[in-house]
Amino acid sequence: MTAMPLGARSPGSHWRARVGFVVGAIAIALAALAPAAGAAASPPWTEAPYSYYAENVPLTTALRDFASSFSLALELTPSINGKVNGQFNAKSPTEFIDRLAGVYSLNWFVHAGTLYVSRTKEAVTRRISSGGSSITSVRQALESVGVLDPRFGWGELPGQGVALVSGPPAYVDLIERTLALQPASARDPVFRCGNEYINSAQVARERGCKLMDADNISVLRSESAAPAAASPGAVAPSGARKPENGK
C-alpha cells in the first residue's frame, strides 16, 4: 500500500467534510426548532368558562361536540381514540381542549373554520425553501396571515434560505400550501396602510395595516415607477407620481 504524504487528503475527505457540514447545520437548526415567535390567528371563541360532562364518551365524540359548539368542522387523524369521563369545568375553551390534549397526547390547531386534531407522535419535521427570498421575510409573511403557530417548531438554517418546520402533519402541509400559492417574486410581504404601501411587518402591525394578496403585490410591483419615502420599508403605490416642483 502506498503511503500518502503528510497532510494530504484522501479522495473522499472533501465529500466527508461537506456531509459533516450539512449534518452539523441541520443539527443546529433542529436544536433551534423552538416555538415560533409570531402569533397565529386567534381561535374563534371567547375566553369564557366552558363546561362538558362525559360518561364513557368516545374521544372523537367529545372533540366533535367541542367543534360543533363553535361551528367548526373537525378533521381527525385515524389514530384518535379513547374514552372520556368526568365533569370538566374549564376557565375557557382553550383550557378545556388543552386539558384533553395533555391527557390524550394530542396536537390541535384551528384554521379557516376547521379544528385539526392529531396525536403528538404523528408530528413531522420538513425542510422548506424560501424560493429565493430571505427566510426571515417568509416567516414574517406567514406570521402576518396568521398561519405560523407559536406552539409548533420553526428553525432557520442561516445563509441557506431554508427552514425546518415541525408540528402536526396538517399544519406543516398548510405551511407548504401557503408558500406554494405565492410566486417567488411576491413572497416579501406588502401591506396597505390607507394610500401607502409598506413591506415592514413590524410597522404594519403597529399601524393595523392590511396584508395584500400575491396577485395584487405582483401588479403593484410591476406598475410602481418609484419608491415612496413616507415610512420605513415603504414602497410606491400603483400609479404613484413623483412630486412636481418639490410639492
Q: Tell whether the model's pLDDT for residue 165 goes beyond 50.
A: yes
Q: What is the pTM of this model?
A: 0.61
* For the chain, percent of residues with pLDDT exceeding 90: 42
Q: CB–CB of 76/115 below 8 Å? A: no
Question: Are 92 and 138 found together in one domain?
Answer: no
DSSP lists the bridge partners of residue 126 as 165
Residue 163 sits in a domain of what CATH number? 3.30.1370.120
Backbone CA torsion sign across 103, 104, 109, 114: negative
Go through the chain and tell me how many residues it has. Answer: 247
**Poorest-pLDDT segment among 29-38, 53-62, 173-182:** 29-38
Q: How many domains does the chain have?
A: 3
Q: Is residue 90 part of a domain?
A: yes
Helix (H, G, I), strand (E, B) or coil at 53: strand
Most confident of 27-36, 161-170, 183-192: 161-170
Contacts of 230 (CB under 8 A, 6+ apart): 196
Q: CB–CB of 145/111 below 8 Å? A: no
Domain end, chosen from 181, 199, 222, is at 181
182-206 pLDDT, tens digit each:
655 445 566 777 777 776 666 777 7
Q: Is residue 44 part of a domain?
A: no
Helix (H, G, I), strand (E, B) or coil at 145: coil
Q: What is the pLDDT of residue 26?
A: 37
Question: Are 57 and 112 found together in one domain?
Answer: yes
Residue range(s) defining the domain that contains residue 150: 123-181
Task: Write the single-letter amino acid at 178.
Answer: T
Look-up of cell digits 398548510: 174
Q: Which helix (H) or strand (E) holds 104?
A: helix 93-104
Q: What is the pLDDT of residue 225?
A: 42
Q: What is the spatial distance between Cα 76 and Cα 117, in angstroms, rounded to a whole number?
A: 5
132-153 pLDDT, tens digit each:
778 888 888 888 888 999 999 9
Question: Are 75 and 127 found together in one domain?
Answer: no
61-98 pLDDT, tens digit each:
999 999 999 999 999 999 999 999 999 999 999 999 99
* For the chain, percent of residues with pLDDT exceeding 70: 62
Q: What is the spatial distance between Cα 182 and Cα 193, in angstroms, rounded to a whole number?
A: 21
Q: Is residue 162 part of a domain?
A: yes
216 or 234, which is more confident?
216
218-244 pLDDT, tens digit each:
444 455 444 444 444 444 444 444 444
Question: Are 160 and 129 found together in one domain?
Answer: yes
Q: Which of 108, 59, 118, 115 is nearest to 86 (CA)?
A: 59
Q: What is the spatial distance between Cα 241 and Cα 37, in angstroms, rounded to a whole number?
A: 38
Q: Which of 136, 138, 128, 125 is nearest to 162 (CA)?
A: 128
